[in-house]
Amino acid sequence: MLLWEWFRPPRAVLTLFIALMSVCALALGWLGWQVLVQDQMVEVQRRQERLENAADRAMATMEQTLSGADAVVTVAANGETQVTPAGRLAYTPSQPAPPAVAADLFAEAESLEFLRHDFGKAAAAYSRLAESAAPKIRAEALLRLGRALRREGKYQKALEAYTSLEKFGSTPVAGMPASLVARAARCSTLHESGDTAVVEREAAALWTELTLAKWNITKPTLETYLSDLRELAPKLALPAGWDERVALSEAAEWAFHQPKASGRVGLLVNQRATSVSWERQSGGWSARLISASTWESLWKKLEQDGGIVLSVVNQEGVVLHGRASTPGPAALRAAAITGLPWSITATSASANQPSQSWTARRRLLVAGLAVFAIVLGLGTLLIARALSREIAVARLQSDFVSAVSHEFRTPLTSIRQLAEMLARGRMETDHHKQRAYDLILGESDRLRRLVESLLDFGRMQARQYKYRTESLEAVEWSRSVAEEFRETVRGRGYVIDFTAPAQGAWTIQGDREALGGALWNLLDNAVKYSPDEHNVHVAVSAANGQVNVSVRDHGPGIPREDLKRVFARFYRGANAKKQGTKGTGIGLAIVKEIVEAHGGTVRARSEIGQGSEFTMVLPCHES
Ligand code: ADP
C-alpha cells in the first residue's frame, strides 16, 4: 500500500487516531521519565539531608564527649599533681620539686663516705642526723645511711634503714617519694646481698604498685624504676590497658609543655586518637583527657544509630576511623570550622543502594506507568482494529455498490438492445424473435433474482425477514431446485448431476423459497467460479439427525485466507476479482443467514486446483 493512501479518507481517520495515540504514548513516556528523574533528585536531596543530620548529630555528641573526661590531671603551682580517677595515668606530666635541704648538713658525713671511704664513720654520722627533729632531714639521712651501710656490706642494717625510710610515705626524698625510693633501694640491697627469692617477691610487689601508679612520678622516673626492676626480675609483665594509660599520660605531658594557656587537641598516640583539653590558671594547670577507646566506641555507636559510616581524619590527613576516601554523597564537618579535634565525614552505610521507600515508590510508579501504557496500547489496538474493520466494511460497501450497479447494467443493456431490435423490426424470422423473447425472459429473471436477493439481504440484516415454515422432503426439494437450475444453465454447457440415496426420506421444517434460494446461490457460485470445468455435483445425505445438501465443483478452488472469510458480508475473493467474475459479495452471507435461521450450519471445503464443496447441514426428521 502506498504511503499517501494512509492519509486519504476513510483511512485518514485511522492514521489520525494512531498518530494521536502515539503522541499520547510518547507524552506519557516522557512524563513518566521526568517524574522518575525528579523523584530520584528528591531522593538524592533527602539522602544528603540525612547525612547532614547525621554529621550534626555526630558533631554534637563529640562536643558533649569533650565536655566530659576519662581522666583529669591537675598540677598545682608547687608541682603537686593529682589524677582523677587515681591511677588512670601511667605517669604524670610533673612531680613536686625536691625540698631544699641545707647542702652542708651532710657535707662531713659525705666526705667520710666518698673521699675517705670510711663507711663505718659515715654511717655513724648519718645515724646521728637520722635522729633530727625535721622529718625531711631524717628521711635524707636514712637514705644516705642505707647507702653507707650497703657499701660497708652491712646489708641487714641497710635494709632496716630503708624500712624506716619507707614509713615516710610520700615525703620527698632526693626529689621522689620516700616510700618509693626506700622500696627500690631495698630491692637493690637484697639483690646485692644475693637474697634472690626475697628480691623477686619485693620487686614484683613494687612493679605492681608502680604500674598501678601509686606514686605521681614523671615518665623518666617511671621508666628508670621499671627498667631497674626488670633487671632484677625479668618476668615482670605490664598490666592490661597499660598502653592506653601511657597514651593518656603522653597526651597530658604533651599538653603540659605547650606554651599556650589553653587548648583542645586530638593527638595521635600509637596511631590511636586521644584528645586533651588543658587550661593554665594562676600558676596551676589542669587537663581533661579522653582515651582512644572512648572515642572509638563513640564513633561505632554513632554509626549503629544512624545507618551511617563516619570517617575521622586529623589535620595531617591521618585516618583515625573509617575510610580515607568516601564514595557517593557525604557530609563533611571540617575541624578548622567546627573547632573539634578532628574532621568528620558522614557517608551512607549503603552508599550506592537506594532507600527501601524510594525503591518501593519507584516500583509503584513504574508499575502504574506500565499498566497505563498497557491499557493505552490495548485500547489503541482495539479501537484501531474496530476502525480498520469499519473502514474495510465501508470499502466493501462501496465495492458492493459498484458491483450491484454492474450486475444491473449487464442484463438491462441486453434487454434494451433486444427490445430495440424487436421494436425496430430488425428481427426478421420468428426463430430470431423467439430467441430474443427467451433472452429477455432470462435476463429479466436474473434481474428479478438479483432484486429479490438484495431485498432479502436487506430484510435479513434488519431481522425483518419472515420465514414461512413448512415440511419439506429434503431429497425431493433439493432435486427440484437442482433440476430447475440445470435447465437454466444447460444452454451454457453445464452438467448438474444429482445424487441421493434411493430409500432416503428426510423431512426438513423450513421455508421452501428461502432454502431453495440458498441452494441456488451455491449452484450459481459453482457454475460462476468454474468457467472451464462444467461438471457440478449435488449430493443429499443424512446422518445423526441432520441432512447434508452439498454442491461440489471442479473449479480452481478458494485460497486458504479467502476460505475463512467467504461468508462475510460483501466479501469477494481474490479469484472473483482476478477473473472479473460478476457478483455482489452477499450470496454466501445470505446462504449462511438462511441456514442458521433454520438451526443448521454451512461448511466450505476447498483445495486449490481441485474445486470447492459447500454443504448445508440442516436438522431433519426421518419419515
Ligand atoms: P459473489 O459470488 O457475489 O462474489 P458470494 O458471497 O457468493 O459473492 O461469494 C463470496 C466469494 O467466495 C466469491 O467472491 C468467491 O471468491 C468465493 N466463492 C464462492 N463460491 C465459490 C466457488 N464455488 N468456487 C470458487 N470461489 C467461490
List strand residue ranges (DSSP E) for 248-387, in order: 262-269, 272-281, 284-290, 308-313, 319-321, 330-333, 343-348
Report yes or no: 85 and 75 within 8 Å, Cβ to Cβ. Answer: no
Q: What is the mean pLDDT of residues 443-469?
A: 89
- Candidate from 524, 566, 578, 603 with most ligand 1 atoms within 8 A of CB, to mutate: 566
Rounded Cα distance between 497 and 475, Å, is: 13
The rounded Å distance from CA 587 to ligand 1 centre is 8
Q: Is 477's pLDDT higher than 90?
A: yes
Q: Is the pLDDT of residue 593 over 90?
A: yes
Statement: residue 12 has pLDDT above 90: no
- Mean pLDDT computed over 567-595: 90
* Domain range 466-622, its CATH number among 3.30.565.10, 1.10.10.1200, 3.30.70.2190, 3.30.9.10: 3.30.565.10
The arithmetic mean of pLDDT across residues 612-622, rounded, is 91
Please tell me the distance between residue 603's alpha carbon and the centre of ligand 1 in angstroms. Answer: 13
311 in helix, strand or coil? strand
**Secondary structure string (H, E, C) spanning 387-430:** HHHHHHHHHHHHHHHHHHHHHHHHHHHHHHHHHHHHHCCCCCCH
Residue nearest to atom 14 of ligand 1 (CA): 572
Q: 135-152 vs 107-114: helix axis angle to the nearest 10?
A: 10
* pLDDT (0 to 100) of residue 502: 82
DSSP three-state, residue 343: strand
Tell me how far the alpha carbon of residue 386 lies from the centroid of ligand 1, in angstroms.
25
What are 264-284's pLDDT values in tens digits?
999 988 888 999 999 998 889
Q: Which three cell numbers stand for residue 76?
A: 598545682
Distance 301 CA to ligand 1 centre (A): 88
Task: Say whether pLDDT at 260 is over 80.
Answer: yes
CATH code for the part of the protein at 96-217: 1.25.40.10
From atom 24 of ligand 1, which residue's Cα is the shortest distance away? 529
pLDDT confidence band for 102 (50 / 70 / 90): low
Ligand 1 surroundings by CB, under 6 angstroms:
525-526, 529, 553, 555, 558, 562, 566, 571-573, 575-576, 583-589, 612
Distances (CA, A) of 147 to 153, 154, 188, 404: 10, 10, 10, 147
Atom of ligand 1 lying closest to residue 521 CA: 7
pLDDT of 611 > 90? The answer is yes
- pLDDT of amino acid 461: 84
Residue 238 CA neighbour count, 13 Å, CB half: 13
CA separation for the pair 261, 251 (Å, rounded): 16
Q: pLDDT at position 396, please? A: 79
All residues at 6 or more sequence positions from 427 whose CB lies less than 8 Å from its CB, including other chains: 421, 433, 436
Torsion-angle region of 482 (φ positive above 0: left; ψ -120 to 50: alpha; else: beta): alpha
CA of residue 564 to ligand 1 center, whole Å: 12
* DSSP structure class, residue 7: G
Of 410, 454, 558, the residue with max ligand 1 atoms within 8 A of its CB, to mutate for a pocket test, comes to: 558
Considering only CA atoms, which of 241, 190, 193, 249 is closest in space to residue 220? 249
Per cent of the chain over pLDDT 90 is: 63
Between the CA of 539 and the centroid of ligand 1 the distance, in Å, is 20
pLDDT, tens only, 390-421:
888 788 788 888 888 888 998 899 999 999 99
For a mutational test of ligand 1's pocket, the pick from 407, 410, 525, i.e. the residue with the most ligand atoms closer than 8 A to its C-beta, is: 525
The residue count for the chain: 623
Work out the mean pLDDT of the chain and round it to a whole number: 90
In whole angstroms, give the CA distance from residue 295 to residue 175.
36
Q: CB-based burial of residue 234 (10 Å sphere; 0-12 exposed, 13-18 middle, 19+ buried)?
A: exposed
Question: Does residue 554 register a pLDDT over 80?
Answer: yes
pTM of the model: 0.57
Q: CB-based burial of residue 6 (10 Å sphere; 0-12 exposed, 13-18 middle, 19+ buried)?
A: middle
How far is 351 from 623, CA to CA, in rounded Å? 90
Q: Could you give the 3-state DSSP secondary structure of residue 307? A: coil
The CB density around residue 121, as the number of other CB atoms within 10 Å, is 14
Cβ contact 545:539 at 8 Å? no
**Top mean-pLDDT range of 24-28, 158-162, 192-196:** 158-162
User: How would you write 72-93 as a 3-class SS string?
Assistant: EEEECCCCCEEEECCCCCCCCC
How sure is the predictor about 189, in pLDDT bands with cuts at 50, 70 and 90? very high
Is residue 216 within 8 A of residue 234, CB to CB? The reply is no
The model's pLDDT over 366-395, given as tens digits with 9 standing for 90+, comes to 999 899 999 999 999 999 999 888 888 788
Q: Determine how β-strand 495-499 pairs with β-strand 535-543.
A: parallel
Over residues 546-568, the mean pLDDT reads 94
Mean pLDDT across 7-18? 83
Helices 587-597, 430-461: axis angle to 10 degrees equals 60
Pocket test for ligand 1, best of 527, 529, 535, 595 (most atoms within 8 A of CB): 529
Inform me whether the pLDDT recorded for 100 exceeds 70: no
Looking at residue 283, what is its pLDDT? 85
The answer to whether the beta carbons of residues 287 and 311 sit under 8 Å apart is: no
- CA 546, distance to chain mean position in Å, is 64
Per-residue pLDDT at 154: 95
Q: Is the pLDDT of residue 460 over 90?
A: no
Range 473-477 average pLDDT: 94
- State the pLDDT at residue 96: 72
Tell me the pLDDT band of 303, cut-offs 50, 70 and 90.
Answer: confident
**Cell numbers representing residue 223 in the block:** 621508666
Cα of 456 from ligand 1 centre, angstroms: 18
Q: Give tens-digit pLDDT for 122-172.
A: 999 999 999 999 888 999 999 999 999 999 999 999 999 999 999 998 888
The terminus-to-terminus CA distance of the chain in angstroms comes to 57
Q: How confident is the model at residue 315 (pLDDT cuts 50, 70, 90)?
A: confident
The mean per-residue pLDDT over the stretch 199-207 comes to 93
Q: Ligand 1 atom closest to Cα of 403?
A: 3
Please tell me the predicted confidence (pLDDT) of residue 1. Answer: 60
pLDDT tens digit sequence for 499-524: 998 877 899 999 999 999 999 999 99
CA distance 588 to 574: 15
Q: CA geometry: angle at 127 spanning 126 and 130, to 5°?
A: 85
Instruction: Tell me if the bond preceding 99 is cis, omega within 30° of 0.
Output: no
Region 72-79: mean pLDDT is 90
d(CA 145, CA 147): 5
By CB atoms closer than 10 A (0-12, 13-18, 19+), residue 124 is middle
- Check: CB of residue 316 under 8 Å from CB of residue 335: no
Mean pLDDT of 183-188: 95
